[in-house]
Amino acid sequence: MSILINKDTKVIVQGITGRDGAFHTSKMKAYGTNIVGGISPGKAGQQVEGIPVFNTVEDAVKATGANASVIFVPAPFAGDAIMEASYAGIELVVCITEHVPVQDMIRVMPVLEKHGTKLIGANCPGLITPGECLIGILPSMIFKPGNVGLISRSGTLTYEVVNMLTESGLGQTTCVGIGGDSVSGLYFIDLLEMYENDPKTDAVVVIGEIGGDAEEQAAKFIKEKMTKPVVAFIAGQSAPPGKRMGHAGAIISSGAGTAEEKVKAFNAAGVPVAKEPSEIPGLIKEKLGK
């Protein structure tokens, strides 16, 4: 099994006629993702990679039965694009767009909650169930099917760690890049619960970073609710206080959100924390008794 997406997921691309939308549509389709339509207002009737283009998400859902959407529209319009998908009944929205205004995301969240829409992102690389479905910009060649789940706030660290897992013989069930914005969709606890309930996921890798307390909350959830082994890595261990490092959410303020606090929380929950990403495959194998 997997979480969130599989070979039966029907995907539409919002912003399919733009440069990034068209480019990544071709990559997702080549991987085998079931892309059933695209959205570009005023361009209904056109095709991209043989995929029909619709004016609205509502039109696409009615015509194709789509249940997932990936967003490549510019930042000023991304919030409205997310809400349009939610109102149209899309179950999972993956927003790749970065620099989406915080105010827009605050406006979006109640709409998602009202309609029961799950969101990954914004400012994320997407997710993949290897061998079945890729939604986003992840480099598909490094993934392989297996029994390890992965959640990451960092896109590039996702690629680095997955490549190490694959080279060490550890395939993946589903890998999710949740992004590093201060207001985001599904986060560690949401996904950890899904992995805990997925019979094919035997272990989970959590890649966190400085800023906020999401990792501390995740550690508490793991200690109280999870039976499956978890291994972690925290990026930004040498970041100075008050300095934002890469992501909008990666800032230490008033002594909170430090790498030291996060490592301490995970260790207290029985989660080993790698000092370097290269240690993660070995820690997973230890947990799985390989």
Q: Which residues are catalytic?
A: 247
Residues whose CB falls within 8 Å of the CB of residue 238, separated by 6 or more in sequence, listed in order? none
Rounded Cα–Cα distance for residues 173 and 203 (Å) = 10
What single-letter amino acid sits at 122? Answer: A
SS3 142: helix
Rounded Cα–Cα distance for residues 155 and 132 (Å) = 20
Residues whose CB falls within 8 Å of the CB of residue 230, separated by 6 or more in sequence, listed in order? 192, 203, 204, 205, 206, 222, 271
Rounded Cα–Cα distance for residues 210 and 113 (Å) = 27
Give the tokens for residue 13.
Answer: 């691309």
Q: Nearest Cα to 228, choosing from 194, 271, 266, 196?
A: 196
Residues whose CB falls within 8 Å of the CB of residue 43, separated by 6 or more in sequence, listed in order? 17, 53, 55
